[in-house]
């Protein structure tokens, strides 16, 4: 089974890639926006969309709430799925306005379990998006599970959730790591760094998935020590 604990894997990743200092954003609301816009989308495109929202003065909840949806769509177009994501942004801001008087700090001070339930009731916000908001904007010790995390750990076999469900994956990390938001944030960021590094280096051998079997960094943790 596991040759390394999850903490040992983290230490190796940190040693190799250094602190990632996620989430890349200037304000909590920018974190929320980024979490929604990055759904199935490269961060490069998200940055463009956020830049356009900034230029249009739309990077505040009160503006998103009142701006015509077509205008919001146009701003976030580079992020893809712009119609769905514009609606999701507006729905989030509606929740924020109705339940917390538009005060994001107040929303983020709500109990994590309560806030997670409320976020998941917003159409377009699923578990990964909700948890990204809870962790990076709210500072709650909630581990974010993304596609990279699943692929990396299912191939290394370091942990084995009973099913492929989001909550089961998350429970494994919560069981095996101390509930430290700094650790969780860095860990998630480092897994993305590993995936991207691996992708760049192994592209010729790797076929369509950057973490397929041809990718040694994905299946062999010691690869990180030797290279």
Taking the complex as a whole, how short is the minimal distance between the CB of residue 31 and DNA, in angstroms? 8
CA distance 157 to 127: 23
By C-beta, is 122 or 217 nearer to DNA? 122
Q: How many of the chain's residues bind DNA (CB under 7 A)?
A: 46
Residue 179 within binding range of DNA, rule CB under 7 A: no
Residue 214 within binding range of DNA, rule CB under 7 A: no
Residue 52 within binding range of DNA, rule CB under 7 A: no
Chain centroid offset of residue 111 CA: 20
- What track of x and - describes contact with DNA for positions 134 through 153 (by CB under 7 A)? ------------xxx-----
Helix (H, G, I), strand (E, B) or coil at 9: helix
- Torsion sign (Cα): 34, 37, 42, 48: negative
Residue 196 within binding range of DNA, rule CB under 7 A: yes
DSSP state of 19: -
Quick one: which of 8, 4, 47, 32 has its CA closest to 156? 4
Residue 210 within binding range of DNA, rule CB under 7 A: yes
By C-beta, is 44 or 226 nearer to DNA? 44
């Amino acid at each position: 089974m596991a040759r390394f604990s999850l903490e040992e894997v983290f230490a190796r990743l940190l040693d190799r890639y250094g602190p990632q200092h996620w989430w890349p954003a200037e304000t909590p609301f920018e974190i929320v926006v980024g979490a929604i816009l990055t759904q199935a989308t490269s961060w490069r495109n998200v940055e463009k969309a956020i830049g356009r929202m900034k230029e249009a003065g739309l990077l505040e909840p009160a503006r998103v709430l009142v701006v015509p949806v077509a205008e919001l769509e146009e701003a976030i177009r580079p992020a893809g799925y712009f119609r769905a994501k514009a609606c999701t942004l507006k729905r989030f801001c509606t929740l924020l306005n109705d339940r917390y008087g538009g005060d994001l700090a107040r929303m983020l001070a709500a109990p994590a379990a309560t806030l997670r339930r409320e976020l998941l009731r917003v159409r377009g916000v699923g578990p990964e998006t909700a948890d990204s908001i809870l962790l990076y904007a709210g500072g709650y010790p909630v581990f974010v599970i993304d596609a990279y995390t699943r692929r990396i750990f299912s191939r290394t076999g370091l942990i084995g959730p009973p099913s492929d469900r989001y909550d089961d994956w998350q429970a494994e990390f919560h069981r095996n790591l101390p509930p430290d938001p700094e650790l969780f944030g860095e860990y998630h960021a480092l897994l993305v760094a590993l995936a991207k590094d691996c992708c760049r280096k192994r592209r010729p051998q790797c076929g369509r998935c950057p973490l397929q079997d041809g990718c040694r960094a994905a299946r062999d943790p010691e690869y990180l020590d030797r290279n």
